Amino acid sequence: MSGAGAMERWRSCPALADQDEAFLASVADYLAQLQALSHEQRHCLALFKVAELVNALIQIKERREAVDRVGPELAQRSFALVRSVIRNRTLPYAGSQSQCLRDPQLTAVIDEGCRLFHLGKTNKDLYQQALALSAAQCLALQDQLGPALDQYLQLSGLVVPKTLVTAVRKSFIEAYRS
Query: Does the pLDDT value for residue 144 go beyond 90?
Result: yes
Per-residue pLDDT tens for 33-64? 999 999 999 999 999 999 999 999 999 999 99
Instruction: Tell me what the pLDDT averaged over the chain comes to.
Output: 91
Average pLDDT of span 23-31: 97
What is the pTM (predicted TM-score) of this model? Answer: 0.91
101-110 contacts at long range (C-beta below 8 A, 24 or more positions apart)? 101/44, 101/45, 101/47, 101/48, 103/41, 103/44, 105/37, 105/41, 106/37, 106/41, 106/44, 106/45, 106/48, 109/33, 109/34, 109/45, 109/133, 109/137, 110/45, 110/48, 110/86
CA nearest 156: which of 95, 86, 76?
Answer: 95
pLDDT, residue 95, reads: 67
CA nearest 42: which of 160, 142, 151, 130?
Answer: 142
pLDDT, residue 74, reads: 94
**Lowest-pLDDT range of 5-9, 34-38, 127-131:** 5-9
Dihedral sign, Cα of residue 64, residue 153, residue 86, residue 31: negative
Q: pLDDT category, 2, cuts 50, 70, 90? A: very low
Query: Does the pLDDT value for residue 3 go beyond 70?
Result: no
According to DSSP, residue 167 is labeled H
CA nearest 70: which of 78, 168, 80?
Answer: 78
pLDDT, residue 98, reads: 75
User: Rounded to an integer, what is the distance from CA 96 to the centroid of its chain?
Assistant: 23
pLDDT, residue 1, reads: 42
Whether 149 and 166 have beta carbons less than 8 Å apart is answered as no
What is the full DSSP assignment across 137-156?
A: HHHHTHHHHHHHHHHHHHHS
pLDDT, residue 67, reads: 87
Query: Does the pLDDT value for residue 7 go beyond 60?
Result: no
Residue 73's alpha-carbon distances to 48, 70, 153, 166, in angstroms, are 21, 8, 17, 21
Per-residue pLDDT tens for 70-116? 999 999 999 999 999 999 998 887 766 777 888 999 999 999 999 99
Average pLDDT of span 141-159: 93
Residue 128's alpha-carbon distances to 7, 13, 117, 118, 166, in angstroms, are 21, 18, 9, 12, 25
pLDDT, residue 136, reads: 97
pLDDT, residue 96, reads: 67
